[in-house]
């Protein structure tokens, strides 16, 4: 299962990370978000320490969601060296997420 991040921990968890980080901006009421969760769990299992997969609940963490202009969910942002490298909106195949992480 993917770990969570929050407004309070985002800087340390994502921006300062030494490896690529895929962040799933989601909410519990979002049907497509529930559809993508098991896909991202498989991606997380396949990263083998080369990357991290984190979830950020947009309802509970509006500051970070606003900071990155999240206006549709699920939105997936891939960060490398503290910067957004890729943005994916909606449910994608597992291979798309792995490619976005460079794996």
Catalytic residues: 30, 33
Buried b (16+ CB within 10 A) or exposed e, 76-100: bbbbbeeeeebebeebbeeeebbeb
- Give me the count of residues in the chain: 103
The stretches of the chain forming alpha helices (DSSP H) are 10, 31-46, 62-67, 94-100
Record the tokens describing residue 41, joined without a space: 């769990």
Spatial separation of the C-alpha atoms in residues 83 and 67, rounded to whole Å: 13
């Amino acid at each position: 299962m993917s770990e969570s991040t929050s407004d309070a921990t985002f800087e340390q968890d994502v921006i300062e990370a030494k490896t690529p980080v895929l962040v799933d901006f989601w909410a519990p009421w979002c049907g497509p978000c529930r559809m993508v969760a098991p896909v991202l769990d498989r991606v997380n299992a396949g990263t083998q320490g080369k990357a991290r997969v984190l979830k950020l609940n947009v309802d509970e963490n509006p500051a970070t969601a606003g900071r990155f202009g999240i206006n549709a969910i699920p939105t997936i942002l891939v960060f490398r060296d503290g910067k957004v490298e890729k943005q994916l909106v909606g449910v994608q195949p597992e291979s798309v997420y792995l490619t976005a992480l460079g794996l």
